[in-house]
Amino acid sequence: MLDANLLQSLPELPAPVLTAYLDINPANPRNQGHPPGYLIWLKSRARVLRSRIPQVEQKVFWALVEQAEETLRNRPFRERGLILFAGPEIRHVLPVQVAVEDELHWGRPSLTQLLWLLDEHQACGAALVDRAGARFFRFWLGAAEEQQQHTFRVDTREWRQKHLVPPGHPGAQKTRGSQRDVFEQRVEAQYDRFYRDVGGQIRAWAEQEKLVPVFLVGPNEVVEAVWGELPKSFQERAAILKGDLSRLSLAELQARLQPEIEAWRRAHELVVVESMLSTANGTRAIVGLDETLERLQQGQARELVVARGLGGRLRQCSRCNWVSRSADRACPACGSPLRAVPLRAVLPELARRYAVPVEVVAGEAGEKLRAAGGLGAWLR
């Protein structure tokens, strides 16, 4: 599981840094030989890149490439992708369980692909609840971990349980009926309090970890009781899965939930895109590449929605960094020269600069948004 503090520190790594994104998926036929295909690609690409960097840096560059190669040879990986940031004094090796495209860079840390991965694979969660307690699981970038556990036990130590007390003198009979009803009511009252507490814990946990969606999993009567303690605003980014999955291993649980999570996301994304398209009047929302880029850079966007795989090239000012599809040679804002930049390289940087979250949509939602330009924004 990637460390959030490390991710925040990556832009501050001192240059020059070797950045590598490698498809190390053992299911990929190219990686099933000896040596695996990702090692062959790394050395081949590194030779090309070395010829393009200043000669004074080539020795350090090649030493870092050889260290990366040694790491890959000596450490067996079962993940699908690997991200590496390496410099003379630092080394971060980040295996991930999602698809990664091969890239190799030298200089400033190259974060573009990582930022896209973070936007495309947002964290989600599952709370497994039954009458014995609750367990909280977080899924992110293909990895899974159990984060919290809350056990529950009915405490009857201070209760007067007359139906359990033996007769005080011969001929007396134990009190039953109404006393047993009182006992059962007290038990159910404790369970009701437990359900309220778990509902509050789920909300706080999901907010802290920024989880969407959160699945509430467990026996019918338990999940329905906890679901009833969740506000409607939270239920809109959550779902119920009825059934006892408590005996599954972590890997089995992830495999069981993954199709449910994907189905929820595709349905949610379709609702988002259809709502955006129906309200794209320039007041609540906007769609289209040119209009969205302009509103974003004017500080008017509060959230971006982008079709997965959206590509193309833009023009960026070398001085003020204004981005557009302008065919002019000079920036319309400051008159400085414009340079061509890939959309996939500049869009994550723009989103971070203006502190705007990005939702990447696929499937039917992605197709509908792509037909409208591939990019839209909810406006402030």
Tell whether the model's pLDDT for residue 145 goes beyond 60: yes
Question: In terms of Cα–Cα distance, which of 73, 78, 96 is closest to 1?
Answer: 96
Q: Average pLDDT of 313-328?
A: 90
The 10s digit of each residue's pLDDT in 80-97 is 999 999 999 999 999 999
Tell whether the model's pLDDT for residue 70 goes beyond 70: yes
User: Considering the domain 124-247 in this protein, what is its CATH number?
Assistant: 3.30.420.60
Start-end ranges of CATH 3.30.960 in the chain? Answer: 4-110
The 10s digit of each residue's pLDDT in 5-32 is 788 889 889 999 999 999 999 999 999 9
Residue 154 confidence (pLDDT)? 65
Residue 170 confidence (pLDDT)? 53
Sign of the CA dihedral 211, 213, 215, 221?
A: positive
The 10s digit of each residue's pLDDT in 242-301 is 999 999 999 999 999 999 999 999 999 999 999 999 999 999 999 999 999 999 999 999
Q: Average pLDDT of 42-52?
A: 97
274-379 falls under which CATH superfamily? Ribosomal protein L30/S12 (3.30.1330.30)
Percent residues over pLDDT 90 in the chain: 76
Tell whether the model's pLDDT for residue 341 goes beyond 60: yes
Tell whether the model's pLDDT for residue 62 goes beyond 80: yes
CB 237 within 8 A of CB 261: no
N-to-C CA span, the chain: 34
Q: Categorize the per-residue pLDDT at 47 as very low, low, confident or very high, splitting at 50, 70 and 90.
A: very high
State the CATH architecture for 4-110: 2-Layer Sandwich (3.30)
| Average pLDDT for the chain | 90
Residue 315 confidence (pLDDT)? 93
Q: Average pLDDT of 178-202?
A: 85
Residue 76 confidence (pLDDT)? 80
127-136, 159-168, 204-213, 278-287: which has the minimum mean pLDDT?
A: 159-168
Residue 3 confidence (pLDDT)? 77
Start-end ranges of CATH 3.30.1330.30 in the chain? Answer: 274-379
Question: In terms of Cα–Cα distance, which of 130, 126, 128 is closest to 191?
Answer: 130
Q: Average pLDDT of 223-237?
A: 96
Separation in Å, CA 298 to CA 45, 76, 301: 39, 48, 8
Residue 157 confidence (pLDDT)? 62
Q: What is the 3-state secondary structure (H, E, C) of the chain?
A: CCCHHHHHHHHHCCCCEEEEEEECCCCCHHHCCCCCHHHHHHHHHHHHHHCCCCHHHHHHHHHHHHHHHHHHHHCCCCCCEEEEEECCCCEEEEEECCCCCCEEEEECCCCHHHHHHHHHCCCEEEEEEECCEEEEEEEECCEEEEEEEEECCCCCCCCCCHHHCCCCCCCCCCCCCHHHHHHHHHHHHHHHHHHHHHHHHHHHHHHHHCCCCEEEEECHHHHHHHHCCCCHHHHCCEEEEECCCCCCCHHHHHHHHHHHHHHHHHHHHHHHHHHHHHCCCCCCEEECHHHHHHHHHCCCEEEEEEECCCCCEEEEECCCCCEECCCCCECCCCCCEEEEEEHHHHHHHHHHHCCCCEEEECHHHHHHHHHCCCEEEEEC
Start-end ranges of CATH 3.30.420.60 in the chain? Answer: 124-247
**Stated pTM of the model:** 0.82
The 10s digit of each residue's pLDDT in 100-144 is 999 999 999 999 999 999 989 999 999 999 988 999 999 999 899
Tell whether the model's pLDDT for residue 173 goes beyond 70: no
Tell whether the model's pLDDT for residue 178 goes beyond 70: no
